């Protein structure tokens, strides 16, 4: 009945480079992405998007489109459920009704027998618009008398005010106070696989959605809410995900439109974005203008901080409210001496496409401002900036100004690691270049959460496990693997507890009908939360196996050895070995036998800060840190920046799988470099001009330096074997590190991203004219 390989005693893979469990299916082309699914009678969906950033919909004429052979449905906003949808505040229907608020807003959806017919049908739809005054920028948005994006509500989406300590007194007593303003630009998440979904109605009338997503359960809630269905009437199945980076969960409307159409037509519907559709349909990160005012005391300790942010969420707020909150306060928790904070954040509606969650979730914006700012302060103080940052870096055991309890904190070690690797000390001392190619070094640091108790008073994770008749272990979880290696991590944790190779563990695909509940892969939560649950599952199985083996062998559990998928009596009869498969079968095949299956839950000892008016509290079981150092060469004639070397150090607590950590670090750093130097969503009257990968210039392999990735293992007490999240933090410090290096190279401080040659040349010209002015001196 079963064939069981005899294993050698398997050493734990914890801390050893471990290839992803699902690498093989991707390399062989067998992985099934959402666009690969075909269903009997499946229709193809295409969406007509608004060409206007702000306009009243006067009329929609779908007659000609409906008459096209092969077209099954041409539906507009009036056909959608008469209820608003949105992440927290609900602001629009599934398709636009009465007016459009951004270029790209979904106005008409067509379902046809193939993609070509659907596209042809879109050409036959006639929509008459009456243009309305635009809200072109967040400044314009908040001006009195501005046009309103949403009727009668003003253009202020949300305003946050936080104050702790005695800020004014602290500033008054500061040895140095520095204030400056920084601006960041939106970043498109830039995954390889555009959004894709196939949805249908099953035999019981339930809506089934197979989609590329970070969280099947959050998506299920979204569809159910938008369609007015109970959650159990909706099933969401994760297709293989070709990258997500925050863009494939909750906010996006593409899978929702597909789900609605399938539900309405009662037929399978496929919706695969073109790249332009994806640029228009995906949320980019919010543009933020950050004004920092910081005070340090005579010891170089940051003692006062005031943060003012104005952010542009575009036409709908989505998660941008939360992104702003993160930009506003999270980086305060990096400073160990800081107790006086005042923050004001305002989020403005404009007629830009909506912005929201992208990798780093508000952290990159804050890190750009903060690290640029602190570098300037260190210079003003005459302290080496590494020293300054380390002096202020939180340590394990600290409780930060907002209540973060740091069980581990390797920020200072990250600074040490990158400064040493880049040759900081030596390069700081070298003579300044005088030619047209000038080198400079810069660095920056950042904090990120591993988990975040904010979606109700639970931030846990559940892993179910069973032992198969041939001694393998099958795990199921509601968290997602989008390529980051979550399933491999789970297999490692469970296998390690059981002393079997990871190849003996299968992790089942995520599906709301079948998997235990999980918030999904957001907030860098999966390693710390699901990892702990997987360890608990492994221990529970181990306990059951040992108890049964003890009974069968007639030996106390303490005398048993468990290794290589076998259990034996260490001293008395080492040759009588019971395999996991034998024990699994024996567990069932006896009077009153039961299958060997366990459910393990881990909910961290964190606090639902959102439930307190002052939002004070320890929101995450662990906090990750990262630092990055770069050496650049700036061409003073062209303004071109070349990164000569970069080192990123990630305090992920413990690298359960260094291969995965390095992969995430390099990917995140590349994304940070792209945001700093190359990527810019260009708008003209709120219309995206470069919605394609030729004009929106994400860095290619050739344009990236070798990224040296280092790991700091701070051993988080709450972490599985000490681990924290490792997928987002390394995205944060890049932009500031480059800006600092550019300043080091040519003395030009770029406070507005991206760092373009034009801005550098303008800065050089400004410096030159300042130099030429009487009494000029360099800062």
Contact residues for its own copies (CB under 8 A)?
1-5, 21-22, 24-26, 28, 30-32, 36, 38-40, 201-205, 221, 224-225, 228-232, 240, 456-458, 460, 462, 468-470, 472, 474, 476, 506, 508, 513-514, 516-517, 585, 588-595, 597, 599, 601, 603, 605
Are the CB atoms for 44 and 256 separated by under 8 Å?
no
Closest to its own copies by CB, 312 or 405? 405
What's the min distance (Å) between Cβ of 228 and its own copies?
A: 7
What's the min distance (Å) between Cβ of 363 and its own copies?
A: 26
- Give the β-pairing of 566-569 and 578-579: antiparallel
Residues 6+ apart with CB under 8 A from 242: 33, 191, 192, 193, 212, 483
What's the min distance (Å) between Cβ of 203 and its own copies?
A: 2
Q: Rounded distance, CA 627 to CA 608, Å?
A: 28
What does each C-alpha distance from 646 to 365, 421, 657, 669, 741 come to in angstroms?
20, 9, 22, 9, 11
What's the min distance (Å) between Cβ of 208 and its own copies?
A: 11
Are the CB atoms for 285 and 186 separated by under 8 Å?
yes
Task: Show the DSSP H helices in 604-756 as ranges.
Answer: 658-673, 734-746
Closest to its own copies by CB, 189 or 622? 622
- Give the residue carrying structure tokens 């009456």: 130
What's the min distance (Å) between Cβ of 173 and its own copies?
A: 40
What's the min distance (Å) between Cβ of 472 and its own copies?
A: 4
Closest to its own copies by CB, 160 or 517? 517
Closest to its own copies by CB, 285 or 618? 618
Sign of the CA dihedral with 450 first, then 453, 456, and 458 last: positive
Closest to its own copies by CB, 41 or 574? 41
Closest to its own copies by CB, 28 or 571? 28
Closest to its own copies by CB, 491 or 660? 491
Closest to its own copies by CB, 208 or 370? 208
Q: How many CA atoms lie within 13 A of 503 on its CB side?
A: 8
Q: Rounded distance, CA 300 to CA 320, Å?
A: 34
Backbone angles phi, psi at 198, to 5 degrees: -130, 130
Closest to its own copies by CB, 24 or 126? 24
- Give the residue carrying structure tokens 């050895």: 561
What's the min distance (Å) between Cβ of 411 and its own copies?
A: 29
**Computed over its alpha carbons, how large is the radius of gyration of the chain?**
28
Q: Rounded distance, CA 345 to CA 410, Å?
A: 29
What's the min distance (Å) between Cβ of 603 and its own copies?
A: 5
What's the min distance (Å) between Cβ of 31 and its own copies?
A: 5
Please choose, from the candidates 749, 755, 758, the residue with its C-alpha nearest in 3D space to the C-alpha of residue 376.
749
Q: Rounded distance, CA 33 to CA 50, Å?
A: 28
DSSP 562: E
Question: How many contiguous H segments (helices) and E segments (strands) does the chain have?
Answer: 19, 28
Are the CB atoms for 477 and 518 separated by under 8 Å?
yes
What's the min distance (Å) between Cβ of 249 and its own copies?
A: 15
Closest to its own copies by CB, 76 or 533? 533
What's the min distance (Å) between Cβ of 600 and its own copies?
A: 9
Q: Rounded distance, CA 467 to CA 479, Å?
A: 20
Residues 6+ apart with CB under 8 A from 144: none
Closest to its own copies by CB, 383 or 469? 469
What is residue 378's three-state secondary structure?
A: helix
């Amino acid at each position: 009945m079963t064939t069981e390989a005899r294993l050698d005693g398997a050493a734990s893979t914890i801390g050893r480079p471990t290839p992803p469990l699902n690498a093989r299916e991707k390399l062989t082309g067998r992985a099934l992405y959402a666009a690969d699914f075909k269903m009997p009678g499946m229709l193809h969906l295409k969406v007509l998007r608004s060409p206007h950033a702000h306009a009243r919909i006067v009329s929609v004429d779908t007659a000609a489109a409906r008459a096209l052979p092969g077209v099954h449905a041409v539906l507009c906003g009036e056909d959608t459920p008469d209820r608003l949808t949105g992440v927290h505040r609900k602001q629009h229907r599934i398709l636009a009704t009465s007016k459009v608020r951004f270029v790209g807003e979904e106005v008409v959806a067509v379902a046809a027998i193939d993609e070509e017919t659907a596209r042809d049908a879109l050409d036959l739809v006639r929509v008459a618009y009456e243009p309305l005054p635009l809200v072109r920028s967040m400044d314009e948005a908040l001006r009195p008398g501005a046009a309103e994006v949403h009727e009668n509500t003003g253009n202020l989406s949300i305003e946050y005010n936080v104050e702790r300590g005695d800020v004014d007194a602290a500033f008054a007593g500061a040895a140095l106070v520095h204030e400056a303003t920084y601006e960041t630009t939106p970043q498109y998440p830039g995954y390889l696989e555009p959004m894709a979904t196939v949805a249908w109605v099953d035999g019981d009338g339930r809506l089934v959605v197979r989609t590329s997503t970070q969280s099947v359960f959050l998506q299920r809630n979204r569809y159910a809410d938008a369609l007015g269905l109970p959650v159990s009437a909706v099933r969401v199945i994760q297709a293989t995900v070709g990258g997500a980076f925050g863009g494939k969960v909750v906010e996006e409307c593409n899978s929702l439109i597909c789900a609605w159409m399938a539900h309405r037509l009662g037929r399978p519907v496929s919706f695969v974005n073109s790249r332009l559709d994806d640029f228009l349909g995906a949320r980019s990160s919010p543009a933020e203008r950050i004004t920092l005012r910081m005070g340090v005391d005579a010891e170089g300790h940051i003692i006062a901080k005031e943060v003012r942010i104005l952010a542009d969420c575009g036409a709908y707020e989505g998660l941008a409210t939360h992104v702003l909150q993160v930009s506003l306060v999270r980086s305060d928790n990096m400073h160990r001496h800081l107790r006086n904070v005042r923050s004001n954040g305002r989020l403005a509606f404009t007629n830009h496409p909506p912005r929201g969650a992208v990798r780093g979730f508000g952290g990159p914006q804050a890190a750009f401002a903060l690290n640029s700012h602190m570098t300037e302060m260190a210079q003003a103080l005459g302290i080496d900036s590494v020293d300054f940052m380390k002096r202020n870096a939180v340590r394990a055991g600290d409780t930060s100004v907002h209540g973060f309890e740091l069980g581990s904190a390797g920020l200072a070690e990250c600074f040490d690691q990158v400064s040493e690797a880049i040759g900081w000390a030596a390069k700081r001392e070298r003579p300044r270049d005088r030619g047209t190619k000038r080198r400079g070094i810069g660095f920056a640091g950042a904090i990120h959460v591993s988990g975040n108790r904010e979606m109700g008073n639970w931030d846990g994770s559940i892993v179910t496990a069973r032992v198969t008749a041939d001694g393998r272990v099958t795990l199921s979880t509601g968290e997602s693997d989008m390529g980051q290696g979550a399933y491999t991590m789970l297999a490692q944790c469970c296998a390690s507890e059981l002393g079997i190779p990871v190849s003996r563990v299968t992790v089942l695909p995520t599906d709301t009908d079948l998997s235990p509940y999980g918030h999904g892969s957001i907030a860098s939560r999966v390693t710390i939360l699901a990892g702990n649950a997987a360890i608990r599952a492994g221990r529970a199985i181990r306990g059951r196996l040992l108890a049964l083996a003890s009974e069968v062998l007639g030996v106390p559990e303490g005398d048993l050895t468990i290794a290589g998928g076998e259990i034996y009596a260490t001293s008395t009869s080492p040759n009588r070995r019971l395999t996991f498969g034998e024990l699994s079968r024996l567990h069932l095949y006896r009077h009153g036998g039961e299958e060997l299956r366990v459910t393990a839950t881990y909910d961290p000892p964190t606090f639902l800060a959102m439930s307190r008016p002052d939002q004070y509290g320890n929101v995450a079981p662990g906090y990750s840190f990262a630092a990055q150092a770069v050496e650049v060469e700036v061409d003073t004639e062209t303004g071109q920046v070349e990164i000569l070397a970069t080192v990123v150090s990630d305090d992920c607590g413990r690298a359960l799988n260094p291969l995965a950590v390095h992969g995430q670090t390099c990917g995140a750093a590349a994304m940070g470099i792209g945001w700093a130097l190359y990527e810019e969503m260009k708008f003209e009257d709120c219309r995206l001009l470069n919605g394609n990968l030729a004009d929106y210039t994400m860095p290619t392999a050739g344009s990236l330096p070798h990224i040296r990735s280092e790991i700091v293992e701070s051993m988080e007490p709450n972490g599985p074997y000490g681990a924290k999240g490792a997928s987002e933090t390394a995205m944060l410090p890049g932009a500031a590190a480059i800006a600092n290096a550019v300043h080091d190279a040519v003395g030009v401080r770029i406070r507005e991203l991206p760092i373009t040659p034009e801005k550098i040349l303008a800065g050089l010209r400004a410096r030159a004219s300042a130099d030429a002015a009487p009494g000029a001196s360099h800062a």
